[in-house]
Structure 1
C-alpha cells in the first residue's frame, strides 16, 4: 500500500482484451505499474491474460519511448503490446512491438480481417481507433492524439517497413530508409524515400502530400475528393498508388482505386488481405 501512495494514478479504459486496467506511473522514476481492476468478469479473464502490457500484468517496467528503446532495454516478446511514450511531454500510448535480431519496430497500422472499419472521418484518425489485438491505427483508445503520435515517433524512427500479404498467402515487403510526417499545422504531410524490397514502390507517388479524409480533403486533385473516391484516408495525390487504409474486401477483388491498394505490385483493382506498417530507427 505504501508503494501505491507514491504513484500518480491514471485509469485507462481499454477495449476488449485490456479494458479496465489501471496504470500507475511513478512521478520520479517514470516506471509503470499495471494491474487488473475489480471490474473484470469471468468471460474476459482468458483473453486478457493473453496480451501483456510492457510485461505481465502486475509487473513494473520502465516506460519506453518506442520499440527500439524496448529492444535496447532487453524486451524480446515480439508481437506483444507495449506501453510507450514517444515524446516526454505527452501521455502514454500503446502499440504492438515486433523484434528481429538487432532492432525493434513499432507497428503503427495493422490490417488483418476487416473487423475494423477504416473509412472514418478526420477526428477518428486524429484520435485513433481499433483494437490492439486485431486491427488498429496507432494511438487507438489512449489518452493522446494518434497522428501526433506518428509525428513524434518519426522524429527518431525514420525508417518504415510495410508488409503486404495477398489473399493467396504471398507476402512481400517494402522498406524505406526515410519516412516522417510533419506537424498538424501542415496536415501531417508525409516525406518518404529510399525504397528497397520486393513489393515494388507504391509510396513514392505520395511523397510530399498532406493527409486526407473524406471530411477533410487536403489532396491536390481539384476534380474529386480522393478519400471519398477511394473509401479510405491517406496521403492522396491524384489519387492513389497506394491506399492502405482503404476498405478490406473479401477475396481481394476491388473497384478501381478502392480497397487496400498497393498498385505497383498488384493493380488498383486488387485489395490486400494483411498489412503491417511499422517504424524503426
Structure 2
C-alpha cells in the first residue's frame, strides 16, 4: 500500500505570553524532502516558501518527507545542499536576503518579493538598463536605436518594431488605393511612389508633350492614351475607316468637346459610320419625358430597348460650323415597308437646342419631318413652340422641334418622339399611318474631316 508521510515545514515559536499579549520572536523553518517534478521526480531537499518568507526564517531544522509533490501557486526552493542553523546571518547569506534598494530605469517597476525590477517593453537586466531588442527585431527596413532601445521606422511604418502601417486611405494621391498589407498605395499607371506622388512617365510617344506637374501627355490630335500610343477615333466614321469590318454597337468617340471620350451607338451596316441619336423599336422605352431628360439623354445604348442620345451631346458634336453634318430619318412599319431620307447641314445651337437644317423631308401626302428650321426644342415642361394656344409637346406626349402642332396638310411637324401606342408612332398623313421602328442618325458630310483641339 502506498503511504505518504506529511511533515509541517514551518513552526512559529511563541516565546512569551503575558496577560493576553503574545509576541513572535522566532520563525523556525525546515528543509524536507520531496520529488522535484522539473527533474523527473528526483528526490531533493525542498523549502516550500517564497523568497520573502524564507528571508524571515530565524532557524532551520530538518523536516520530513513527501512521497508526492503538492500543488502550489509558486515554485518552492529545491537544493542538494540544505542549511540547518539558528544563525540569522547564515540564513540571510544562504538565501541572498540582502537589503534590496534597486533603482529601476526606463520605466521599470520595483518589486520586493523577490527583490527585482519588472522592466518595461524593450528593456531587460537587473535594473532595466539593457536593450532587449536586436537589429533583426526591426521590420520593414527599420533600424535599431540603441540609446532609446526603439526601432526608427520609415515614415510610413510605425509601432514598436515597425510592423504597423502609418498610412491612411486619404494619404494616397491621384486616385491611388491603400494596400494595408504592404503599407503602400496602389497607384494609377502614370503615378508611382509610396503615396502616388511621383510621376511614373519619362516621356510621351508620337511627339506628345509631358506635363510633369500633372503627369500627363498632351498628344497630337491623331493620338491619345497615357503616352500617346493609341489612335484617336473622333467618331463612328473614324472607326469604320480604320476597320470596315466593324459591327454595329457602342463605341467611345473622342471629339473636341469630349476629349475624355463619349459613348455612342454606331451604325456600321446600313449607314456606315453614323451616330444613332434616336432609336425606337417598341413602346417599352417611354419618350414622354421632361426637358432635363431630353437634355441629358435616356435609355440604354447597349440594349435593344432604344435610346435618346441627349440634346446637349448632339449640340456639342454638331454646333462647330467648321464641320458639317447631315441627318438621316429612317422609319419602317411592322411589315416590309421602309422609308428613309437624308437632310444636309444639320446642327443644334444654343441653350434651347435650336434646329438648323437645309430644307425638310417630305414623306408624301403632306407629311414632313424637320420643317422646323430655326425653331428651338420643346418639352411638356418647357414650351418653346411659339404657339400661345397649345403646347405641342404636351399634346403629342414627346419632346421635339415644332413648327405648328398640326401635322400633315396644315404644315405641322411630325414628331418622331410622339407617344408609342399599340400600332406604333403616328406619322399621319404619311403612308402607312403608323411606324413601329424609327432611327435618327447623324454623320459628317462627304469630304468633311473632324478637327480636334486638346
| Alignment TM-score > 0.5, same fold | yes
Q: Measured at CA, do residues 183 and 235 of structure 1 come closer, stay the same or move farther in structure 2, by a change above 3 Å?
A: same
Q: Equivalent of 1:150, from 314, 325, 333?
A: 314
Report if aligned partners of 1:97, 1:107 keep a CA contact under 8 Å in 2. yes
Are residue 104 (structure 1) and residue 104 (structure 2) matched?
no
Shift of 1:214: 0.3
Alignment root-mean-square deviation, CA: 3.0
Shift of 1:100: 5.1
Q: Measured at CA, do residues 265 and 73 of structure 1 come closer, stay the same or move farther in structure 2, by a change above 3 Å?
A: same
Segments of 5+ residues of structure 2 without an aligned counterpart are 1-185, 192-215, 406-411, 445-454
Q: Match of 1:172? A: 339
Q: Measured at CA, do residues 218 and 194 of structure 1 come closer, stay the same or move farther in structure 2, by a change above 3 Å?
A: closer
C-alpha separation between the residues in 2 aligned to 1:236 and 1:101?
28
Are residue 244 (structure 1) and residue 438 (structure 2) matched?
no
C-alpha separation between the residues in 2 aligned to 1:91 and 1:119?
31
Q: Equivalent of 1:222, from 385, 388, 392?
A: 388
Q: Match of 2:248? A: 79
Q: Match of 2:399? A: 233
For 1:218-248, what per-residue CA distance to the aligned partner results, in whole angstroms no more than 9, with x for missing partners? 0011101111011110001211421111112
TM-score, normalising length: structure 2:
0.43
Say which SS state the counterpart of residue 190 (structure 1) adopts. strand
Q: Measured at CA, do residues 63 and 163 of structure 1 come closer, stay the same or move farther in structure 2, by a change above 3 Å?
A: same
Are residue 209 (structure 1) and residue 393 (structure 2) matched?
no
Q: Measured at CA, do residues 89 and 277 of structure 1 come closer, stay the same or move farther in structure 2, by a change above 3 Å?
A: closer
C-alpha separation between the residues in 2 aligned to 1:231 and 1:245?
8
C-alpha separation between the residues in 1 aligned to 2:260 and 2:439?
24
Q: Equivalent of 2:225, from 4, 7, 31?
A: 31
Identify the structure with bigger relative contact order (alpha carbons < 8 Å, sequence gap 6+): 1
C-alpha separation between the residues in 2 aligned to 1:180 and 1:75?
27
Shift of 1:193: 2.3
Report if aligned partners of 1:202, 1:263 keep a CA contact under 8 Å in 2. no
For 1:40-92, what per-residue CA distance to the aligned partner results, in whole angstroms no more than 9, with x for missing partners? xxxxxxxxxxxxxxxxxxxx964422111222332532321101234345543
Q: Match of 1:55? A: none
Shift of 1:273: 0.4
Segments of 5+ residues of structure 1 without an aligned counterpart are 8-24, 33-59, 139-145, 253-259
Report if aligned partners of 1:81, 1:95 keep a CA contact under 8 Å in 2. yes
Structure that is richer in helix per residue: 1
Shift of 1:190: 0.5
Q: Match of 2:62? A: none
Q: Match of 2:353? A: 188
Report if aligned partners of 1:70, 1:104 keep a CA contact under 8 Å in 2. yes
C-alpha separation between the residues in 1 aligned to 2:270 and 2:187?
36
Q: Match of 1:17? A: none
Say which SS state the counterpart of residue 153 (structure 1) adopts. helix
What aligned pairs does 1:126-141 form with structure 2 within 5 A after superposition?
126-132=295-301, 133-134=303-304, 135-138=306-309
Count of residue pairs brought into register by the alignment = 217
Q: Match of 2:59? A: none
Q: Measured at CA, do residues 68 and 244 of structure 1 come closer, stay the same or move farther in structure 2, by a change above 3 Å?
A: same
Q: Measured at CA, do residues 264 and 6 of structure 1 come closer, stay the same or move farther in structure 2, by a change above 3 Å?
A: farther
Say which SS state the counterpart of residue 148 (structure 1) adopts. helix
C-alpha separation between the residues in 2 aligned to 1:222 and 1:82?
42
Q: Measured at CA, do residues 228 and 104 of structure 1 come closer, stay the same or move farther in structure 2, by a change above 3 Å?
A: same
Are residue 124 (structure 1) and residue 293 (structure 2) matched?
yes
Q: Match of 1:50? A: none
TM-score, normalising length: structure 1:
0.67
Q: Measured at CA, do residues 207 and 101 of structure 1 come closer, stay the same or move farther in structure 2, by a change above 3 Å?
A: closer
